[in-house]
Amino acid sequence: MSSETYPNRNEVSDDKRNGIAETSKRFLISLKEQLHYSENTIQAYAVDLAQFNDFLSEYHLDSNITVEKIDKASIRHFLGMLVEKGISRKSIARKLAALRSWFKYLIRIGVIDYNPAKSVSFPKLEKKLPSPLSVEEAVRLVTAPKADSFAGARDSALLELLYGTGARLSEIVGLDIQNLNRESGTVRLFGKGSKERIVPLGGPGWKALEIYIGFRNSKLSDGDEVALFLNKQGKRLSGRGIQRIVKKYMSMTVENKGKNPHTLRHTFATHLLERGADLNAVKELLGHEDLATTQIYTHVEAEGLKKAYKQAHPRAGTK
């Protein structure tokens, strides 16, 4: 990423004297303080790097292995060990991504000269098609909360925003009240790596927000809290808090579907494509960097078409 910043070169000598554990710590700090990665991603990378360090100690029979001694072969053996342990291909791909990012960081600060993980191929992932809500299920969900109290109005606005914008959980957690622009009908979201995008929100979403903001403002004793969604203590609502709210209402209204905020993101994208939205436009709305990531939703749409064909066409069952 062109916007990345790294420690300056006078820190390199410290890294050269340190082993894998210390350089990993420096890397994780840079992810948090300079690149603004989410806590979940940083914790996952920390586990991945610690596991790799443990593997190298056994592989090289040396608990003080330095980063300069890591080569492509040792990385491939690490991935092979993960396969033998039955680790999923998705998890292995994430671990390899963590290693690539770490080596990239070490190159940029001058500790190593090349990235030994760069030419190691990612494992082919099994594509699990998401199970979006139907339109009827989505409407039933977002209209389930009774907006006659602070909690009910908040939950109503939260569900409307998740379904109406396709926002990630972390983006909703970080949303501040000044990120709303009622005049233009848009919401400013900050995605992975603090990348900003502006997305539209429809009328029902704004109506729910206006009701909730009335309760929100009455609850606050001062104007210092900038977070849009608050808990009962008047502080920013956490990711776990949002997950609990979504699960509560999905358990009341929907059967046999993933009861988490990401299901609403899947649903948002699928419903747009089913109604003829351009794939590139959906990519921008979702904040995807790669069009291939968005294309999984075209498979979902195709599955729906195949199901309708099998149900309706008199010769759909013949081969």
Name the catalytic one among 26, 95, 257, 265: 265
Name the catalytic one among 16, 77, 192, 259: 192
Concerning whether 262 is annotated as a catalytic residue, the answer is yes
Indicate the burial class of 269 (C-beta count within 10 angstroms; 0-12, 13-18, 19 or more): buried
Concerning whether 313 is annotated as a catalytic residue, the answer is no
Phi, psi (rounded to 5 degrees) for 151: -65, -45
Do the beta carbons of residue 317 and residue 310 sit within 8 Å?
yes
Name the catalytic one among 168, 216, 266, 283: 168
Count of beta carbons in the 10 Å neighbourhood of residue 257: 18
Q: What is the DSSP letter of 13?
A: H
Give the distance, in angstroms, between the CA of residue 221 and the centroid of all CA atoms in the same chain.
33
Do the beta carbons of residue 216 and residue 209 sit within 8 Å?
no
Task: Using DSSP bridges, classify how beta strands 186-190 and 196-200 pair: parallel, antiparallel or unpaired.
Answer: antiparallel
Rounded to 5°, angle at Cα 232 from 230 and 238: 45
Concerning whether 265 is annotated as a catalytic residue, the answer is yes
Concerning whether 168 is annotated as a catalytic residue, the answer is yes
Q: What is the DSSP letter of 235?
A: S
Rounded to 5°, angle at Cα 174 from 171 and 177: 110
Of the candidates 153, 147, 137, 195, the one whose C-alpha atom is nearest the C-alpha of residue 170 is 195
Which residues are catalytically annotated? Answer: 168, 192, 262, 265, 288, 297
